[in-house]
Amino acid sequence: MSKRCPCGSGEIDDACCGMLHAGVPAPTALALMRSRYTAYVRGELDYLAGTQRAPLDRAAAGRWSRDTLWMGLEIVQTHAGGEDDATGVVEFIARGVTAGKPFTMRERSRFEKVDGRWIYVDGQTRQS
């Protein structure tokens, strides 16, 4: 039985983030952002490292991924980031519980297309 993707798209995992994690390039900045959330849910550090500009702090990312009960992703807005764009912005809210403490993280993430592939550049976050 197929399960829904953790990214909240409503799609079956194999037809959503699962295929991106298997090597299919993300067609949009939004698709990449959703797939990165799913990578945190699953602890897929290689995927995270391969889809961002800056080096990944694997120890911190692994700890956060492993110690968090991920509660969901909400897309607030997107700007550009389509298949024909070179840059894009995705604002989202991720919710979870880490070490028994619930959190809500809101981030405005910037993405760039490099050699035909979307990458995460950076983001401005607020956490509560």
Give per-residue pLDDT as tens, 51-100. Answer: 999 999 999 999 999 999 999 999 999 999 999 999 999 999 999 999 99
Is residue 4 in a domain?
Answer: no
pLDDT of residue 84: 97
The answer on pLDDT for 1 being more than 70 is no
Domain that holds residue 108: 13-127
- Cα gap 72→104, rounded to integer Å: 10
Could you tell me the CATH number of the domain that includes residue 62?
3.10.450.50
Strands 117-127 and 101-114: antiparallel
Percent of the chain surpassing pLDDT 90: 95
The side-by-side arrangement of strands in the sheet containing 101-114 is 68-80, 87-98, 101-114, 117-127
pLDDT of residue 2: 76
Is residue 114 in a domain?
Answer: yes
Is residue 116 in a domain?
Answer: yes
Is residue 7 in a domain?
Answer: no
SS3 content of the chain, % helix, strand, coil (to 5): 30, 40, 30
pLDDT of residue 126: 81
In the chain, the number of structural domains is 1
Is residue 1 in a domain?
Answer: no
Mean pLDDT of the chain: 96
pLDDT (average), residues 34-53: 98
pLDDT of residue 74: 98
